[in-house]
Structure 1
Amino acid sequence: MLLNKESGSELRIYGCTRAASAALSHCACIVFTVTIALLSRPGTKAILLFSPRGSPLKTLPHKTKSRAHWILQCLCVTCAILGLAAIVYNKHLSGKPHFTSWHGLLGVIAVCAVALQSLAAVPLIYHSLAKGWSLAKLKRYHAATGLVAYLLGSGSLLLGLRSAWFTGSAGEHTWYLAAACCAFNALVVMNQVSSAYTAKKRLQS
């Protein structure tokens, strides 16, 4: 009985910690988006919709969350491609070379990765397109590649925060706040994806 009580309390503490982390991540997203919106363009993240404790849609069916995730990711890819096109066009007008910084190189890789990963997710909606592949395996690959694409985007964003434009536009405290929000969100997403599939492996074993 004592062991059951201790394990139950540990689970409650763990659950509260996960919920608090997800809530803080949402707050960080809002703060970061507002900060960037004042200086540039806001971005959209859809991964946290599947958070078991911190999703704003956690009471809705999984199918509804999947559709919302799909819509937000389509908007994200569209904004990323339009942003990349605007940057290329602006560089062309200015007569400046393209993708000469690590931020630019990693950014274009991240945009390509997100676009390809989103296209590869179509069989998750129309499973008949991926004959011979189980839905569970497709979801696992989608989560893994999505995490890689997210981390590429986060890395490019962090490098962008070191640009002369951002450091000149933002104060020192704003820079640290933006960097902390970006890093914290990346950690929360990594934990969410890894925890979800670790839990599934435990249930299957």
Structure 2
Amino acid sequence: MVQNNRESDGEPRVYGYSRRASAVLTHFICVGFSVFIALLSRPGSSLFSWHPFFMTLAFSFFMTEAILLFSPHGSPNKGFPHKAKGRVHWILQGLCVSCAALGLAAISYNKHLNGKAHFASWHGLLGLLTVCVVALQSLAAVPLIYHSLAKGWSLAKLKRYHAASGLVTYLLGSVSLLLGLCSAWFTASIGGYAWYLSALCPAVSALVVMNQVSSAYMAKKRLQS
């Protein structure tokens, strides 16, 4: 039976293809951007070098991959059961929190050694807020694995709140990365078209993640209506 170039849920196939291409592109972006910052910062060359390295690894790589794990179009573990994906997601988020904490510790100690003010810029303030929020977000996700800890809350409601707060956390991380690209360290190293290309990386990833989360819950609404 002809489907008039539409998928089973009534969505034009071209949308499915574009979302699949966007998800695959985001995988390449989060890996490429993380490698680029690692090469630029040369972790280990100084105490400061660990800050951009760990923060990029946390929010550009681990957190992005943790969310894309549930993408219906670009998940690297598409054949895995949902429970297994949840466990891997939790591990990736744990690595994200660990790297974010190490990145925060590196810049804080570096400023202490150099006698500089802590969190004196929008990048510093938002970065601190983001690290705190991502740690709380990960702790709040524990009842999703051990549902008995959240008596009186349905699993569906917990997942909905987790997805919404997770999206806000991811956007905070993306804005923190963008502000980091405006720092004196980065602008002294990269300028011109290379800077704009670098800024596109967290921006494009954020748009793809926003689309994934919003589409997933819009689809659930359509099924329930």
Aligned to 2:48: none
Q: Say which is worse superposed, 114-123 or 33-42, in terms of deviation.
A: 33-42
Matched, 1:21 2:11: no
Supply the distance in 2 between the matched residues of 1:150 and 1:102 (Cα, whole angstroms).
Answer: 17
- Secondary structure of 1:98 counterpart: coil
TM-score by length of 2: 0.86
Following TM superposition, by how much is the alpha carbon of 1:6 offset from its aligned partner in structure 2, in angstroms? 5.2
Percent sequence identity over matched residues? 72
8 Å Cα contact 2:5-2:13 kept in structure 1: no
Q: Where is the helix percentage greater, Structure 1 or Structure 2? A: 1
Residues 1:34 and 2:19 are matched in the alignment: no
**AA paired with 2:98?**
T
Query: Separation in 1 of the partners of 2:79 and 2:188?
Result: 43
1:108 CA drift (Å): 0.4
SS at match of 2:77: coil
Q: Which residue of structure 2 aligns with residue 189 of structure 1? A: 209
Matched, 1:168 2:188: yes
Alignment of 1:106-125 (within 5 A): 106-125=126-145
CA distance in 2, matches of 1:47, 1:172: 31
Aligned residue for 1:5, secondary structure, equals coil
Rate the CA distance shift 1:95–1:122 in 2: closer, same or farther, 3 A: same
Deviations 1:98-139 (A, max 9, x none): 001000011001101100000000000000000000000000
Q: 1:63 to 1:10 in 2, by over 3 A?
A: closer
Query: What's the secondary structure of 1:56's corresponding residue?
Result: coil
Contact 1:35 1:178 in 2 (8 A): no
- Paired AA for residue 40 in structure 2: L
RMSD: 1.6
Which residue of 51, 59, 81 corresponds with 1:61?
Answer: 81
Q: Superposition pairs for residues 1-205 of structure 1, below 5 Å? A: 4-5=3-4, 7-8=6-7, 11-40=12-41, 41=53, 42-43=56-57, 44-45=62-63, 46-205=66-225
Deviations 1:123-176 (A, max 9, x none): 000000000000000000000000001100110110110011001122423321
The amino acid of 1:195's aligned partner reads S
Structure 1-normalised TM-score?
0.94
Secondary structure at 1:90 match in 2: helix
Structure 1 residue runs of 4+, over 6 Å off? none
Q: Give the partner amino acid of 1:112.
A: C
**Structure 1 unaligned residues grouped into runs of 5+:** none
Between the two proteins, the alignment pairs up a number of residues equal to: 204
Would the aligned equivalents of 2:143 and 2:149 in 1 still touch at CA under 8 Å?
A: yes
Counterpart in the other structure of 2:50: none
Q: CA deviation at 1:10?
A: 5.5
Task: In structure 2, list runs of 5 or more residues that go unmatched.
Answer: 42-52
